[in-house]
Structure 1
C-alpha cells in the first residue's frame, strides 16, 4: 500500500498475529515504536516488523509524509480498503478510529495494544 500520513498522525501500538509488516519511507520523518523502544526513520529507510511484535508509527514532521507498506502474507490491506483508507481518504488513523472498527480488526489478525502514555 502507498500511504500519505498527515503530521502527528499514524497508528496506535498494535500487533499482527499472523502477518509480518514492512515499511519503506519515501518522504518525511517518522517516529516508530518497536516493543518498548522508539526510533526515527526517514526517506530511504526500510523497517521490518515481524508478526507478534508490538509497534506503531506516526509522522513526526510538520508536512505530510509518505511510505509504502508491505504485508506477508497479504491480507491486512483489505481491512484498510474496507474502512475508507483508499487513495484520497481523509480518515486519520487515530485510537478513536481503531476503536470503532475493533471487531473488523480482530478478523484481520490485528490487536490494538495499550498506549505508553505519550503515544496516541
Structure 2
C-alpha cells in the first residue's frame, strides 16, 4: 500500500539525520557480574541519555537481591527461561514473551527459578545505570562460564550501588 505523498524536501533534517544507533548481533560490552553475564548493547552515552539497553543471561538460582533504583525506570522482556519477580509486594513468575515494567523507586528483584539459563533483555530510562555493569563486572573469558562471587566481592558492589542511587531492600 502506498500513499500519494508530495516529493520530499531532502534538506528536511528528518531525511538527513544519521545519529541513530545500530548494534549488530554479537556486539556490545559483555561483563560477568555475580555469576550472571550482561551484554550492554547501548549506553546513555550512545542515546543522548535517553536509555540504556542490555541482554542478560542468568544461571539457575541467579539474580540480584531486592533493590530499588532512585533515578531510572526499568523494563524487562524475557526471551527464554523462567524468572520469579518481586515487584513491590507481588511475587510472580515470568517466562518467554513476558514483559515487566518497574517504575523508579519500586522494590524489585528477579531470580532464575528454572533449570536452565534465563535470557532476557532489559533497559533503563533514562539511561546511565547500565554503566554500573561495565564498571563493576569482570571481563568474560571465552569458553568459560561466569563464576559465582563470594562475599568478598559483594562489598565493592554494594558501595557501587549506593553511588548509583540504588537502595538494597529487604526481601520480606
CA RMSD in angstroms comes to 2.2
The alpha-carbon distance between structure 1 residues 52 and 84, as it changes in their structure 2 partners (threshold 3 A), is same
Using the TM superposition, give the Cα deviation of residue 100 of structure 1 relative to its aligned residue in structure 2, in angstroms.
Answer: 3.3
2:93 to 23, 40, 55: 40
User: TM-score under structure 2 normalisation?
Assistant: 0.61
2:161 to 100, 105, 108: 105
1:22 counterpart residue number:
75
Structure 2 counterpart SS, 1:101? helix
Distance 2:97 2:70 in 1: 27
Contact 1:21 1:69 in 2 (8 A): yes
Rg: which structure is higher? Answer: 2
Distance 1:28 1:61 in 2: 6
2:136 corresponds to 1:80: no
Residues 87-96 or 67-76, more deviating: 87-96
- Offset from partner CA, 1:72-94 (integer Å, 9 cap, x none): 00111111111125666715488
Q: Please, which runs of 5 or more residues in structure 2 have no aligned partner?
A: 1-53
The alpha-carbon distance between structure 1 residues 96 and 4, as it changes in their structure 2 partners (threshold 3 A), is farther
User: TM-score under structure 1 normalisation?
Assistant: 0.85
| Higher-RCO chain (CA-CA 8 Å, sequence separation at least 6) | 1
Q: Please, which runs of 5 or more residues in structure 1 have no aligned partner?
A: none
Aligned positions, number: 116
1:31 counterpart residue number:
84
Contact 2:136 2:160 in 1 (8 A): no
